[in-house]
Structure 1
Amino acid sequence: MILASCHPRSRDLLRIVPVMLTAALVLFAWIMPAAAQEAAFRQAVAEAAAEDRDLAAFYQDQSYRPVWTGAGAEHLARRQALVQVLARAGVHGLPAERYDLDGLIASMTAARSQRDLGQVEVELSRTYLRYAHDVQSGVLVPSKVIGDIKREVLRQESGALLKEILAKEPSRVMRNLAPQSNEYARLLKQKLRLEQLVAEGGWGATVSAEKLRPGDSGPAVIALRNRLIAMGYLDRSAAQTYDMRLQQAVQAFQGDHGLETDGIAGATTLAAVNTPATERLKSVIVAMERERWLSEERGQRHILVNLTDFSARILDNDAVTFATRAVIGKNDQNRRSPEFSDEMEYMVINPTWHVPYSIAVNEYLPQMQRNPGAASHLKLYNRNGREVSRGAVNFGAYNARNFPFAIKQPPSERNALGLVKFMFPNKYNIYLHDTPQKALFDLEKRDFSHGCIRLHQPFDFAYALLGRQESDPKAFFHSVLGTGRETYVQLEQHVPVHIIYRTAFTQAQGRPQYRGDVYGRDARIWEALEKAGVSLDTPRG
Structure 2
Amino acid sequence: MSILTKQRRLAVIVPVLLGALLFMSAFPVQAQDTAFRQSVAEASYGNEAVGAFYRTRDYQPIFTGAGDGPRRAALLRALQTADLHGLPAGRYDPEELKAAFRAAKSPRALGRAEVLAAKMFVQYAQDIQSGAMTPSKIDRSIVRDLPRRDQVEQLRAFATASPAGYLKSLPPKTPQYTALLAEKMRLQHTLEKGGWGARVPGSALKPGQSGDAVVALRNRLIAMGYLGRSASQHYDGNMQKAVQQFQLAHGLTPDGVAGEGTIKALNVPARERLASVLVAMERERWTNIPKGERHILVNIPEFTARIIDDGKVSFATRVVVGKNKDGQRTPEFSDVMEYMVINPTWNVPRSIATKEYLPQLKRNPNAVSHLKLVDSRGRTISRSAVNFAQYSASTFPFALKQPPSQRNALGQVKFMFPNKYNIYLHDTPSKSLFARDRRDFSHGCVRVADPKDLAYALLALQSDDPEGLFNTRLRTGAETRVNLDATVPVHIQYRTAFATPKGRMNYREDVYGRDAKIWAEMQKAGVSLELPGS
Q: Please tell me the TM-score bracket, short chain as reference.
A: over 0.9
Deviation for aligned residue 1:273: 0.6
SS in 2 for 1:323: strand
2:19 corresponds in structure 1 to: none
- Per-residue deviation, residues 305-350 of structure 1 (Å, max 9, x unmatched): 0000011111112211111111100011111110000011100000
Aligned counterparts, 1:74-113, within 5 A:
75-113=68-106
Specify the alignment match of 1:50 in structure 2: 45
Please show how residues 185-264 of structure 1 align to structure 2 within 5 Å. Answer: 185-264=178-257
TM superposition shift of 1:364? 0.9
Name the CA distance, whole Å, in 2 between partners of 1:80 and 1:150.
37
Per the alignment, residue 269 of structure 1 pairs with 262
Secondary structure of 1:401's counterpart equals coil
Moved over 3 A (4+): 30-33
Which of 339, 348, 352 is the aligned partner of 1:346?
339
Question: Which whole-Å CA distance do the structure 1 matches of 2:178 and 2:220 have between them?
Answer: 27
Decide whether the 8 Å contact of 1:255 with 1:261 is kept in 2.
Answer: yes
In 2, Cα distance between equivalents of 1:213 and 1:538: 34
1:419: how far off?
A: 0.3
Deviations 1:233-254 (A, max 9, x none): 1111111000111011101100
CA shift at 1:33, angstroms? 3.4
Structure 1's unaligned 5+ residue stretches are: 1-29
Instruction: Measure the CA separation in 1 of the matches of 2:27 and 2:86.
Output: 44
Question: Is the partner of 2:298 in helix, strand or coil?
Answer: strand
How big is the shift at 1:66?
Answer: 0.1
The residue number in structure 1 matching 2:524 is: 531
Distance in 1, matches of 2:412 and 2:526, equals 49
Which one of the candidate residues 439, 453, 463 is aligned to 1:460?
453
Matches within 5 A, 1:270-419: 270-419=263-412
- Structure 2 Cα separation of the partners of residues 358 and 33 of structure 1: 73
Counterpart in the other structure of 1:6: none
* Deviation sequence 1:96-146 (CA, Å, 0-9, x none): 111111111111112221110010000000000111111011111000000
Aligned equivalents of 2:288 and 2:124: distance in 1? 16
How big is each residue's C-alpha offset from its partner over 1:179-199, in whole Å with a ceiling of 9 and x where there is no partner?
A: 121211111111111111111
**Which residue does 2:31 correspond to in 1?**
36
- Normalised by the length of structure 1, the TM-score is 0.92
The equivalent residue for 2:166 is 173
Asked if the contact 1:318–1:508 (Cα under 8 Å) also holds between the matched residues in 2, the reply is no
- The alignment's C-alpha RMSD in Å is 1.4
Mind listing any 5+ residue stretches in structure 2 that lack a counterpart? 1-24
Show the counterpart of 1:183. 176
Q: Is the 8 A contact 2:179 2:503 kept in 1?
A: no
Q: Aligned letter for 1:62?
A: R
Cα deviation for residue 536 of structure 1 reads 0.5
Is 1:344–1:494's contact at 8 Å kept on the other side of the alignment? yes
Q: Secondary structure at the match of 2:301?
A: helix
CA distance in 1, matches of 2:76, 2:432: 57
Give 3-state SS (helix, strand or coil) of 1:388's partner.
coil
Larger radius of gyration: 2
Task: Give the one of 497, 501, 507 matched to 2:494.
Answer: 501
The alignment partner of 2:463 has SS state of coil
Q: Per-residue displacement from partner, 1:43-89 (whole Å, max 9, x unpaired)?
A: 111111122122111111110000100001xx111111101111110
Supply the distance in 2 between the matched residues of 1:526 and 1:519 (Cα, whole angstroms): 13
Q: Deviations over 1:344-401 (max 9, x none)?
A: 1100000000000111111111111111111110001111111111111111111101
Residue-by-residue CA offset, 1:451-480 (whole Å, 9 max, x unaligned): 000011111111111111110111111111
What is the rounded CA distance, in whole Å, between the counterparts of 2:160 and 2:107 in structure 1? 25
1:469 aligns with 2:445: no
> Number of aligned pairs?
508
Letter of the 1:171 counterpart: A
CA shift, 1:538, in A, is: 5.3
- What is the CA distance between 1:205 and its match in structure 2? 1.2
Contact in 2 for aligned 1:306/1:501 (Cα 8 Å)? yes
Conserved in 2, the CA contact under 8 Å of 1:302 and 1:496? yes
Aligned twin of 2:428? 435
SS of equivalent residue, structure 1 residue 308: coil
AA at the equivalent of 2:57: Q
Asked if residue 423 in structure 1 is aligned to residue 416 in structure 2, the reply is: yes
Identity percentage over the alignment?
A: 56
Following the alignment from structure 2 to structure 1, what is the Cα–Cα distance between the partners of residues 451 and 495?
23
- Residue 484 of structure 2 aligns to a residue whose secondary structure is strand
Cα offset, 1:255, TM superposition: 0.4
Distance in 1 of aligned mates of 2:424 and 2:26: 70
1:31–1:527 CA distance, 2 compared to 1 (3 A): farther
- Whether the 8 Å CA contact 1:50–1:56 is kept in 2: the answer is yes
Structure 1 contact 329–448 (Cα < 8 Å) conserved: yes
Deviation at 1:299, TM superposition (A): 1.2
Is 48-57 or 233-242 further displaced after alignment?
48-57
Q: Is the 8 A contact 2:322 2:445 kept in 1?
A: yes
Cα displacement (A) at 1:295? 3.6
User: Which residue, 443, 446, 460 being the options, matches 1:450?
Assistant: 443
Matched with 1:61 is 56
Question: What one-letter code is carried by the residue in structure 2 that aligns with 1:356?
Answer: P
Residue of structure 1 aligned with 2:135, choices 128, 133, 142: 142
SS, match of residue 129 in structure 2: helix
Query: Following the alignment from structure 2 to structure 1, what is the Cα–Cα distance between the partners of residues 364 and 239?
Result: 57
> How far apart are the structure 2 equivalents of 1:529 and 1:332?
24
Deviations 1:415-445 (A, max 9, x none): 0000000000000000000000001111111
The 8 Å contact of residues 251 and 261 in structure 1, kept in 2 or not, is answered as: yes
Q: Which amino acid aligns with 1:508?
A: P
Q: Do the aligned partners of 2:199 and 2:267 also contact (CA within 8 Å) in 1?
A: yes
Residues in 1 aligned to 2:308 and 2:224: alpha-carbon distance in whole angstroms? 28
Q: Secondary structure at the match of 1:387?
A: coil
Give, in whole Å, the separation in 1 of the partners of 2:65 and 2:28: 16
Shift of 1:170: 0.9
3-state SS of 1:299 partner: coil
Q: Distance in 2 between matches of 1:172 and 1:493?
A: 36
